[in-house]
Chains A and B, each alone.
Chain A
Amino acid sequence: MKYFMVTALFLTALVDFPAFAQDTNALTVELAKSHVDIATDFEGDSVYVFGTKNQPGEIVVVLEGPRKDMTIRRKSKIFGAWMNRQSVSFRNMPHFYSFAASNELDKITSPEILKKYQIAPANINIDINDAKRIKLEDQALFTEALLRNKQAQGLYSAARGEVHFLNRNFFKTSFYLPPNVPVGDYEVKSFFIRNGEVYDIKTNTLRIAQVGLSSKINSFSKQYSFVYGILCVGLAVFSGWISGRIRRQI
């Protein structure tokens, strides 16, 4: 028991003073492309991550999307009808989360480290708005519901993706981005874990944004919303008029 506690203390110390300071060149990571373009024909895409490490160890890669506040609502029965009655807001949650690892997570490192570095959806930091006023069991239920709903939408990965080693130190992995992937700035965080400790971390950024006509329409509709509305009406009036003319000739 004593021995265990000493080890635990030692591990905590390592976490607090990250070991990767020893060797910042232990891990090199690059994305195949640093931006994903969404055009009108976007049907989902993949992000490829390549990297090398300079000594034996395991690799975990996390891709997480733009962080925003998120609200989860719970329906309950009112006169037989199901209606949203209760809601819980979560601060600063990623809109997209996916991860890959070279081995089972519990074989790579301890639960504490997974929690600290927010590896796997279940370890994402939960910060509930006005948490004092919400029962603990409800907090757990709503948190579970958030993860479940996000997974159902394909925006949080249900299982880990595979990190493949092409030789002893060169690895690659890929993340699938579904057609409903949120736009915004993403982070690819790569962890080099040796003997259960985080040895080096590298962060790459990925930008997912609309391009071309699609992006022009989006920004125009925000900047000149009144003109945009009038143009939409104009388009509708014009196509309605043409269609009416054709109809009357038939």
Chain B
Amino acid sequence: MLIYLPIAEMAVPADTIFVVSAVVGFLSGIFGIGGGFLTTPFLIFSGIPPAIAVGTQASQLVASSMAAVLGHWSKGNVDVKIGSVMMIGGLAGSVVGTFFFLLLEKLGQTDFVISVLYIALLGTIGCLMLFETLSSFLIKKKAMRNEFNAMRLPTLISKLPYKMRFPKSKLYISALVPGGIGFVGGLLASILGVGGGFLLVPAMIYILRMPALLVAGTSLFQMIFTTAIATIMHAVANNTVDVMLALVLIIGGVFGAQMGVSVSKYVRGRMARLIMALIVLGVCIQMIGHLFIEPVDLFSIAIW
């Protein structure tokens, strides 16, 4: 079934996109991830201009982080203050990222740069996840935790100015640290169309040293705003947010996530993480192939 996208000005197979976003939503329901890093490459591979894919995916992330944050919010697991500081960083990151994206489009290097960034991110995350999961099968979990805790960077961080108190997280650190993490999140949202949870969550645990209980809720909380700003920026600067496509993605994602959440009770944690790591590496390998295998036609028509 084709559906005509009013902004992209093209017809796309709505059923395929729905199924893919439902599958991604299913995975995100099970693993508690955003899944933008799966949907955005899929949209680009299926012929939707990268700018539309990224801009529209940002609005889908608003919906999925909104849906996921509610549970954390009602349990009081959101540090609003630290989330707000991250949000300000996220705003700056979204603005910079949107203009960087515009520049890439003008230079004709969007595909290349997005592919390289995805390969670097997915490769790193996938390998780390795989390593952690495989070793957790062998070594006891505590040993791993201690190893991570040994990687301390407090000397540099404690020297940064603009210190703030965050009572909920019991932290007294420079606002530049959460702000900087939020900034990276904003860049990821506006350039790659991903929420960036896979990067923000470890950063909040190991750099900010936030209480683990607050990390997921707070990162989702700030992600709603960061992706919302990225959506508005893409709509205003590039007119690349397609509400029809967003609707298909959101409904598919909601539908899949609902099923994922109910299935997640029956999935064993380690096995699930192993599967997730393999999916991430699979997407990464596909992108490497896309970049390094000689294309069928070396020539292409620029979209803009």
Mark A residues whose CB is within 8 Å of B: 38-44, 70-77, 80-84, 87, 141-142, 145-146, 148-150, 152-153, 179-180, 182-183, 210, 213-215, 217-218, 221-222, 225-226, 228-233, 235-237, 239-241, 243-248, 250
Contact = CB atoms under 8 A, between A and B. Distances in A.
Interface residues of B, number: 58
Given A41-B3, A43-B2, A250-B258, A240 B301 contact: no
Given A179-B10, A247-B258, 16 more contacts: A41-B2, A73-B300, A73-B301, A81-B112, A82-B292, A84-B108, A145-B299, A148-B297, A148-B299, A215-B6, A226-B232, A232-B243, A232-B246, A235-B247, A235-B250, A240-B63
Contacts of A240: 62-67, 224, 250, 254
Interface stretch (B133-141, B186-194, B233-241, B276-284): B233-241
Interface string B210-252: 0000000000000010001001111110010101101100110
A39 B11 CA distance: 10
Contacts of A245: 70
A183 B9 contact: yes
B87 interface: no
27 contacts: A43-B11, A44-B11, A71-B302, A75-B298, A82-B291, A82-B293, A84-B112, A142-B299, A145-B298, A149-B299, A180-B11, A213-B6, A217-B6, A217-B243, A225-B239, A228-B243, A229-B235, A235-B250, A236-B63, A236-B250, A239-B251, A239-B254, A244-B70, A247-B71, A247-B257, A247-B261, A248-B74
B106 to A, nearest CB: 11
B62 A179 contact: no
Contacts, number: 193
A220 to B, nearest CB: 9
B4 interface: yes
B68 interface: yes
- Which 4 residue pairs across A and B have the least CB separation, nearest first? A240-B66, A229-B235, A145-B299, A179-B11
Interface in B160-201: none
B302 A222 contact: no
B16 interface: no
